[in-house]
Chains A and B, each alone.
Chain A
Amino acid sequence: MAGVDLIEAAQAPLLARRYYAHGDPGPIVAALAHVPEVLEVALPFIGTVLGPSAIGARAKELVILRTSALLECRYCVQAHTVVARDAGLSRAEVRALRGAGAGWVAVFPDPSERALLAWVDAVALGPGPVPAAARAALRAEYADPEVVELTLLVGATVMLNRFCTTLELPTSPQVLARLAEEDLL
């Protein structure tokens, strides 16, 4: 049971209908559909920032899953565990990203991924400026357009984490089944 009523297909507002055209659009859409004018700009934004782009899927899922774990968003962690596995992350990597502290250091030897995860920890946990060392490490590995996109990705994920957690959005049975199957619940 979510913290708000989730709009079903029969009640989908006119601007939201296309998101229901292929079945259950998921609880984020079903919640945002309460405010259609927000839905129609939020969804393309979320899709652009979190979806396929110049940054590879693996790097993006590192950011999303780690941010969601830091923000303790049950819905996002569960949903993006599945996405991360599909993007090629191992179960050990997923567990490390979902763990507290900097346990991930031992699991991610690649310098660019280490710089990225340190950046995520600094940005997501805020507040205030991020340490200069984290910035320098990231810029040593990524070009400015990538820094911008990855930073926005952390911010958008934090927004979604708080949205999904506060509204208690339910994880789909399909995701829960997959997590159980992979011993990642």
Chain B
Amino acid sequence: MTAVADAVGRGVLPGRVWFYANYHCNLTCTYCLTESGPRAARRELGAERMLGLAAEARALGFTALGVTGGEPFLLPYLPELLGELAAVLPVVCLSNATMFTPARLDRLGRLAGLPVQVQISLDRPEPDANDAMRGPENFRKVVEAVPRLVERGIGVRIATTVGSIDDSERERLCALHRRLGVPDDDHVVRPIVRRGRAVDHDLGVEVGPADLPAELTITTDGAFWSPFGPTVHGGRLDTDLLLTRTTSPLNIPARVLLRLVEGRPQGADTQLNIR
């Protein structure tokens, strides 16, 4: 058994490895960690590199993959890549769900039955409140896209990122995602993290490594403690959660992460429910 597999088995190390597929996005959300937007530098990791890292991750003993950005579906090769990644390890891909044209949905349909989930951002149960943070028409596009994915057999998770949400609004949101075909187990509510563009909008909670799951996260800039690590503010990459610049062999950042998490009390990162 590898050291990673042992640590994952003991619950000391999360099993998922994240890839920042890109940094550009068609939206400009007010709380975006990475200041992503249409004019952001792409900084693509590349399909070949992600596949190579996925194979390394499995060999090391990691158990799952995540793909995030930016908006990963801006990458034309993404649907096929998700299928190839899923042949290595189960994968979840984060998306704003605004890119699901009929043609792309057809390509995604080939992922039915594979261990692929698309995690879609939906923050509020009504369009105005949701779109104020995420941009015009976002709510409508999400509400249209989710059932189409579900009916094609694609696993969908809903991620709600909010400063605060009252019980009534939360219940309306849960009623909505259930109506769209997403069960409660696939809905996560987490706080806005005060990094990236959220700092400029005075949003979110301050976090450090103690608050964040130690999920190994690979970007073009290096390996980070968590997918909440490689944030950008004022156009500059934050390095406070940088592990190593070396990303392959993946064993190098994995070994550093293991060193840092050993001895960390289990559950220490769960207080803020940042997932």
Contact = CB atoms under 8 A, between A and B. Distances in A.
A156 interface: no
A14 B245 contact: no
B238 A11 contact: yes
Interface residues of A, number: 13
Contact of B252 (A7, A34, A37): A37
A7 B240 CA distance: 10
B243 interface: yes
Interface string B252-264: 1000100010000
B256 A7 contact: no
B240 A11 contact: yes
A13 B225 CA distance: 10
Contacts of B252: 37
Contacts of A12: 239-240
B209 to A, nearest CB: 7
A11 B256 contact: no
B209 A14 contact: yes
Interface string A52-74: 00000000000000000000000
B227 to A, nearest CB: 15
Given A37-B252, A37-B256, A13 B239 contact: yes
Residue among B238, B242, B252, B260 with the most chain A CB within 10 A? B242
Given A14-B209, A14-B225, A37 B246 contact: yes
Contacts of A38: 245
A9 to B, nearest CB: 9
Interface string A9-35: 011111100000000000000000111
B238 A14 contact: no
A15 B243 contact: yes
Contact of B240 (A13, A34, A35, A37): A13
B28 interface: no
Interface of B: 209, 225, 238-246, 252, 256, 260
24 contacts: A10-B240, A11-B238, A12-B239, A12-B240, A13-B239, A13-B240, A13-B242, A13-B243, A14-B209, A14-B240, A14-B241, A14-B242, A14-B243, A15-B243, A34-B239, A34-B245, A35-B244, A36-B242, A36-B243, A36-B244, A36-B245, A37-B244, A37-B245, A37-B252
Interface of A: 7, 10-15, 33-38
Given A13-B239, A14-B256, 7 more contacts: A11-B238, A12-B240, A15-B256, A34-B245, A36-B243, A37-B245, A38-B245
